[in-house]
Amino acid sequence: MTTTALDIQHLTFRYRDRSEPTIRDISLQLRAGEFLLLAGSSGSGKTTLIRCINGLIPRSYKGELQGQILLQGQDNASLSLARISQIVGTVLQDPERQILGTRVRNEVAFGLENLNLERAEIRQRVEEALDYLGISPLRDRETFNLSGGEKQKIALAGILAMHPSLLLLDEPLASLDPASAQETLALVRRLVDEGLAVLMVEHRIEDVLKLRPDRVMFMEDGQARYLGPAAGLTQAVNYHEIKLPAPLIIARAAQDPPPPEIHFTPAGSEQTSGEAAPLVRFDQVSFDYERGVGVLHEINLDLQRGDVVAILGPNGAGKTTLVKHAIGLLRPRQGHVLINGQDTRHMSVAQIANTLGYVFQSPSHMLFAPTVREELQFGPTNLRHPPEQIEKEVKEAIEIVNLSGREDDPPLALSFGQQKRVSIAAVLAMRSRILVMDEPTAGQDYRNYMDFMDAILQLPSFEAILFITHDVDLAVIYANRVLLVNQGRLVADGPPQEVMADFERLKNNRIVPTSLLQSNLEFLPRSGRFMRAEALAHCG
């Protein structure tokens, strides 16, 4: 008889500071060796459900809880958090919140040491987990210097080393490059086939569906709008809400009116005549964090007015390090970074912020104010914008990221996806000339990130936009220029239809072609450029 790993019965929860429940009447069973995909918009209650299962609700997050959760037949209300952690392993959306150790091997061993296992067994389990994820070379690295994707893998290794019977994955692919995401999904499939029960929250639906999850639950407004076989999901949801495979969207969108065209018109373009000087210039830039371990190697790069640049590349390639040089958080070991012709070595971070506004990969690195409104007011106030202008900037930024009504909420009490949107809005409100975003779609549902990206491109304030992403489709839809970075070097730089047409080069840089990229290449002789799937449906 197959063991029931998880049994949820009529679960409802309302946070102490909220007037309405975040989740309502959720019932669900998950058996050993079963894989459930949990989908839904940002703020729909997915993370709250996970907190209920792993015991953080009501122990750490207070509120009114109704219903029952059974873990292997045991009521989790009667279990200690220590006991629950031996049954349920959780990988959080934001690895920054999960990593405590300064060295990778110590971090992976942390949970095992708290179980008082023998040292030999701890070593064996740590090595097995690192090998399982293909990250053994990281064992002696400092966790602080790892990329976001590498940190995500370390957090997963620490959980797998505990040998849980139920694995909760809260957007495990958010910080991973496409190849790493495929490898992680293959690992999840292997764990399921070996008898582990897995519940995965994920917005990258197309990727997960390839793994044949046993069931899918789609949440909306705290309720289960769909719970059933994966094959039924595509008919149960609006293709504007969830990013379905491109051929499905093209077929369904052909019955609808064509979408409006979105164009980026950079600020100041009407004043430009002749050959304009670059907004940002990298001149033979090299850098290392640890002596002798090069992270960037002789980078030469110009950012021009009108550029919408997507930076792609594997985890640990140096993408974030590259961008941090542009905003002055890092200074080159060799070479120069010039902002409007001025060397960043002679500029303060505050001076650079007038030109470049930066959205960090992890919102916890940015957010600190007691309310969303005060968070958004902070930047423009420090840049000495007039009070009436600040009010207008804050209101517009909140509307762009779809957080109206949340102005008085504490940012750190919001979901990860909502926190990410607050961090984006905080930079939008500053009206810097260049917008720089590190993984803007992490934690975001499809509708939200398409809406705010569309709105950002139509703002009259930016001269250029640059974003780091592992979402290939984000680059396909929005970029007019793609940079491939690997091992600290600029591998390719050009229009997306040129850079992304070379599948062998993409493979060598751990980029996995998506159905949207493949569809765009098929349509390119007719379309002449890359488009979103809804537009391809009306491309002759």
Contact 24, 223 (CB under 8 A): yes
List, for residues 189-221, the tens digit of each pLDDT value.
988 998 999 999 998 888 898 888 999 999 999
For residue 182, CA distances in Å to 172, 419, 441 come to 11, 26, 18
pLDDT at 269: 62
Segment 507-520 shows an average pLDDT of 96
- Nearest-Å Rg of the Cα atoms of the chain is 23
User: Smallest Cα–Cα separation from 356: which of 423, 280, 294, 420?
Assistant: 280
Q: Does 257 sit behind a cis peptide bond, omega within 30 degrees of 0 on the bond before it?
A: no
Strand partners, 311: 468, 483
Domain ranges of the chain: 4-237
Contact 230, 224 (CB under 8 A): no
pLDDT of 444 above 90: no
Does the CA dihedral 423-440-176-284 come out positive or negative? Answer: negative
Tell me the C-alpha distance between 233 and 235, whole Å. 5
Higher pLDDT pick, 272 / 18: 18
| Six token digits for residue 177 | 């490059």
pLDDT of 234 above 90: no
Tell me the C-alpha distance between 461 and 421, whole Å. 19
Provide the pLDDT confidence category of residue 470 given band limits of 50, 70 and 90.
very high
Provide the pLDDT confidence category of residue 2 given band limits of 50, 70 and 90.
low
Say if residue 190 is exposed, middle or buried (CB neighbours under 10 Å; 0-12, 13-18, 19+). Answer: exposed
List, for residues 342-379, the tens digit of each pLDDT value.
999 999 988 898 899 999 888 888 899 999 999 999 99
Contact 411, 369 (CB under 8 A): yes
The matching CATH number, chosen from 3.40.50.300, 3.30.465.10, 3.30.420.140, 3.20.20.300, for 4-237 is 3.40.50.300
Q: Does 247 sit behind a cis peptide bond, omega within 30 degrees of 0 on the bond before it?
A: no
Mapped onto helix, strand or coil, the DSSP state of residue 303 is strand
At a CB cut-off of 8 Å and minimum separation 6, what does 275 contact? none
Please compute, for residue 521, the number of CA atoms within 13 A of its CA located in the half-sphere on the CB side. 15
Strand partners, 290: 293
DSSP state of 130: H
What helix, strand, coil percent values describe the chain, rounded to 5?
40, 25, 35
pLDDT at 271: 55
At a CB cut-off of 8 Å and minimum separation 6, what does 395 contact? none
pLDDT at 134: 85
Give me the percent of the chain exceeding a pLDDT of 70: 98
* Residue whose entry in the numeric block shows the structure tokens 């505990």: 162
List, for residues 100-114, the tens digit of each pLDDT value.
889 999 999 999 998
Selection from 40-54, 173-187, 222-236, 484-498 with the highest mean pLDDT? 484-498
Strand partners, 468: 311, 438
Strands 88-91 and 166-170, by their bridges, are parallel
Give me the percent of the chain exceeding a pLDDT of 90: 69
pLDDT at 173: 84
When mean pLDDT is compared across 174-178, 334-338, 373-377, the lowest value belongs to 174-178
Query: Mean pLDDT across the chain, nearest whole number?
Result: 91
Tell me the C-alpha distance between 228 and 511, whole Å. 31
Contact 532, 259 (CB under 8 A): yes
Selection from 87-96, 406-415, 417-426, 521-530 with the highest mean pLDDT? 521-530
